[in-house]
């Protein structure tokens, strides 16, 4: 056989060439990039001045943001105090009504009086009103929505999913009163995500929670105007100032106050404003952009900007560029140019590498596929007739090694099949000999036993009047022993024959089969007044004779080992499991099976024989186990003081 290249070596050598070429190409690209970066480092000295400017502008804006945060916090405290005072007034009104109008009025009348007294009250320029609900969450007062009064509001949610009434109830139950923050819809403004503050307090005499609230947007209106006025007077350096705009572009403070650059036709100014908004929304940052100067010209400006998300504002401060900034802009153009070059070269290298790799892998995979197809065809032929595979057509040593290993398996298979045929013939001969031996032995053993039993009974009849009671008892023992020995031999013969005949299966209605078994046992059933309940049983492909023997043994055992104080009750059930497996249960209310016997009773001649009961031969349950195992299942017993449940599974072919 000629030497051929390994598939792994084939791919490795060529991929190494490709990888090496790619590495060289990447090194060239890296060198070009480093050269461009070296040219741009000339701006590093000027960057120090730029950094100082950044620190100054950021500190200035941070101070402005701190001032805004302080004022907002102080205003919220003032609004909280105002809301508390309004609730104090409502509580005073309620207390006065209860004190002066309670006599002679029902609770419903008092509640209605309080509700109608508070309903028309308005404050905070007509925005404010009182609301109330009881401790169960039922709305008692809602001036804006009277239709909700009397409705449980525990499920009422705010704009962000918070359970508003439920949370307020928890607050007053813990603290008696307090401030609650939530998000709510505004009838006069679009959207439903508006922050609102509410102060609530429980009124013990009435069992109500009374409260009022205010939107943060309304309380912030005054502070916004005050802050804009103060920020408008902030100036620094020669021409520096602090500017404030909304996220929609409208300028509130600064050189463009009252204008919206986003609506202007001036593209550089619009782009600069968009950059400022984007930086503010991202958490703040420095932006370089084009700005209009006082004479109507364009200047380059460098600013630091930060956002106030709750107000959708951005606050910034900046300085116009000098010639240093012009140089930085030039270097920026160089950077863009260099990035373009790198991207172009990288794309070119990727295309080249990909094309080469694709061609190589395509050719190698085609050759490997051809070898694999040949190997597959050879293995399919070997599966039908075990002939060695021809390895010569294989192009790769890997496939040749695989075919050689398959040939070794084929040779071993031929040897094993030959040994298996010899052993099968031996086993068939042995089984035939054993079957003949079992038949002859059982016949030869049963004949002397019948003779012994017969003559003992004749002897008893002839001299019974001459024997004492003990002698007669001895004769009964001998006759009984002969009968039991004959039964054991017959059981052994049946157990031996159960494995000698073919497993002929057919579609069987188990309900009909069990019915026939019960009919055959009708004498024992009638004698014991037994009741048998049979659940719906499936139609399965099984051996009907074996299944009949299985059910007959289990039902007759349930009758034989009945409880002396209970009428026998037997239940037959079936349960379907996955993969076509069925589980059957034959349950009774008999004497049960001790735990020590629950495994042993399925062995030949191992039986549980309670005193005073006529036991079987010890073969029936062994036959049951053999039938169940023949049908691919297992058998076991579950028992308690109230009876036994013999359960077994089978895996037949379920009929359509």
Predicted confidence (pLDDT) per residue in 569-599, tens digit:
999 999 999 888 999 999 999 888 887 777 7
Average model confidence (pLDDT) across the chain: 78
Most confident of 27-41, 375-389, 511-525: 511-525
* Range with the poorest average pLDDT among 2-11, 50-59, 412-421: 2-11
Strand order in the sheet with 582-588: 531-534, 569-576, 582-588, 643-650, 635-640
Q: Given pLDDT bands bounded at 50, 70 and 90, which one contains residue 482?
A: low
Q: What are the tokens at 245?
A: 């705009």
DSSP string for residues in 344-397:
HHHHHHHHHHHHHHHHHHHHHHHHHHHHHHHHHHHHHHHHHS------TT--SH
Cα–Cα distance between 369 and 379 in angstroms, integer? 15
Q: Given pLDDT bands bounded at 50, 70 and 90, which one contains residue 112?
A: very high
Cα–Cα distance between 464 and 474 in angstroms, integer? 12
At 308-326, the pLDDT tens digits run 888 888 998 887 765 555 5
- The whole-number pLDDT of residue 656 equals 46
Most confident of 85-94, 151-160, 475-484, 549-558: 85-94
More confident residue, 403 or 130: 130
- The whole-number pLDDT of residue 409 equals 73
Short-list 230, 291, 295, CA closest to 264: 291
Indicate whether 521 pLDDT > 70: yes
- The whole-number pLDDT of residue 1 equals 46
Are 135 and 209 in contact by the 8 Å Cβ rule? The answer is yes
Q: Given pLDDT bands bounded at 50, 70 and 90, which one contains residue 331?
A: low
Q: Given pLDDT bands bounded at 50, 70 and 90, which one contains residue 502?
A: low
Average pLDDT over residues 424-428: 71
Indicate whether 41 pLDDT > 70: no
Short-list 226, 171, 174, CA closest to 197: 171
Buried b (16+ CB within 10 A) or exposed e, 275-291: bbbebbeeebbbbbbeb
Q: What are the tokens at 290?
A: 């084009």
At 614-655, the pLDDT tens digits run 555 567 788 888 889 888 899 999 988 789 999 999 986 554
Indicate whether 186 pLDDT > 70: yes
Burial class from Cβ neighbours inside 10 Å (0-12, 13-18, 19+) for residue 313 reads buried
Residue 139 neighbours by CB under 8 Å, 6+ apart: 131, 132, 133, 148, 149, 150, 151, 152, 153, 165
Cα–Cα distance between 524 and 529 in angstroms, integer? 8
Average pLDDT over residues 352-358: 72
Indicate whether 3 pLDDT > 60: no
Which residue is it, tokens 């609650």?
180
More confident residue, 75 or 327: 75
Q: Torsions phi, psi of 334, nearest 5?
A: -60, -40
DSSP string for residues in 161-178:
S-BHHHHHHHHHHHHSEE
Average pLDDT over residues 489-495: 57
Are 177 and 200 in contact by the 8 Å Cβ rule? The answer is yes
Average pLDDT over residues 66-80: 78
- The whole-number pLDDT of residue 606 equals 57
Average pLDDT over residues 36-58: 69
In degrees, to the nearest 5, what angle opens at C-alpha 596 toward C-alphas 594 and 602? 90
Indicate whether 459 pLDDT > 90: no
At 527-558, the pLDDT tens digits run 899 999 999 999 998 988 888 888 988 998 88
């Amino acid at each position: 056989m000629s030497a051929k290249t390994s598939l792994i070596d084939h791919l490795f050598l060529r991929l190494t060439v490709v990888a090496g070429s790619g590495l060289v190409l990447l090194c060239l690209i890296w060198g070009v990039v480093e050269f461009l970066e070296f040219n741009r480092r000339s701006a590093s000295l000027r960057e120090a001045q730029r950094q100082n400017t950044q620190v100054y502008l950021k500190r200035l804006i941070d101070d402005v943001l701190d001032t805004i945060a302080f004022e907002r916090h102080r205003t919220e405290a003032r609004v909280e105090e105002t809301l508390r005072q309004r609730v104090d007034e409502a509580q005073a009104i309620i207390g006065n009504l209860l004190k002066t109008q309670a006599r002679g009025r029902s609770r419903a009348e008092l509640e209605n009086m309080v509700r109608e007294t508070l309903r028309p009250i308005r404050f905070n320029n007509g925005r404010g009103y009182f609301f109330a609900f009881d401790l169960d969450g039922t709305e008692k007062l809602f001036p804006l929505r009277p239709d909700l009064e009397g409705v449980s509001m525990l499920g009422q949610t705010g704009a962000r999913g918070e359970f508003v009434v439920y949370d307020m109830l928890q607050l007053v139950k813990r603290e008696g009163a307090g401030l609650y923050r939530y998000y709510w819809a505004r009838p006069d403004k679009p959207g439903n995500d508006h922050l609102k503050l509410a102060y609530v307090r429980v009124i013990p005499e009435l069992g109500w929670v009374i409260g009022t609230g205010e939107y943060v947007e309304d309380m912030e209106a005054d502070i916004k105007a005050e802050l804009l006025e103060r920020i408008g007077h902030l100036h620094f350096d020669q021409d520096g100032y602090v500017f404030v705009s909304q996220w929609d572009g409208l300028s509130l403070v600064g050189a463009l106050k009252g204008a919206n650059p986003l609506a202007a036709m001036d593209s550089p100014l619009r782009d600069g404003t968009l950059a400022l908004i984007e930086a503010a929304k991202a958490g703040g940052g420095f932006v370089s952009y084009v700005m209009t100067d006082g004479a109507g010209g364009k200047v380059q400006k460098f600013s630091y900007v930060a956002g106030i998300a709750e107000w959708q504002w951005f606050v910034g401060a900046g300085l116009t560029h000098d010639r240093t900034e012009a140089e930085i802009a030039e270097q920026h153009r160089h950077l863009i140019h260099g990035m373009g070059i790198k991207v172009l070269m990288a794309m070119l290298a990727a295309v080249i590498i990909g094309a080469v790799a694709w061609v190589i892998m395509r050719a190698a995979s085609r050759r490997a596929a051809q070898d694999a197809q040949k190997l597959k065809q050879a293995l399919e032929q070997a599966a039908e007739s075990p002939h060695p595979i021809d390895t010569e057509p294989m192009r790769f040593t890997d496939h040749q090694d695989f075919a050689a290993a398959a040939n070794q398996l084929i040779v071993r298979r031929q040897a094993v099949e030959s040994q298996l045929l010899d052993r099968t013939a031996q086993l068939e001969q042995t089984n035939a000999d054993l079957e003949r031996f079992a038949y002859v032995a059982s016949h030869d053993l049963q004949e002397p036993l019948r003779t012994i039993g017969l003559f003992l009974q004749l002897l008893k009849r002839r001299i019974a009047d001459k024997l004492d009671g003990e002698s007669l008892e001895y004769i009964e023992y001998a006759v009984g022993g002969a009968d039991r020995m004959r039964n054991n031999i017959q059981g052994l013969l049946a157990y031996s024959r159960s494995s000698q005949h073919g497993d002929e299966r057919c579609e069987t209605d188990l309900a009909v089969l069990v019915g026939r078994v019960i009919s055959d046992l009708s004498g024992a059933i009638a004698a014991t007044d037994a009741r048998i309940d049979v659940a719906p049983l499936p139609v399965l492909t099984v051996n009907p004779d074996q299944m009949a023997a299985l059910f007959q043994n289990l039902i007759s055992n349930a009758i034989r080992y009945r409880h002396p104080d209970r009428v026998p009750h037997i239940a037959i059930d079936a349960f379907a499991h996955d993969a076509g497996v069925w589980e059957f249960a034959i349950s009774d209310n008999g004497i049960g099976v001790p735990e020590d016997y629950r495994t042993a009773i399925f062995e030949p001649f191992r039986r549980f024989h309670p005193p005073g009961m006529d036991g079987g031969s010890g073969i029936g349950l062994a036959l049951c186990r053999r039938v169940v195992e023949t049908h691919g299942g297992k058998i076991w017993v579950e028992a308690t003081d109230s009876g036994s449940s013999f359960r077994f599974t089978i895996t037949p072919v379920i009929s359509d």
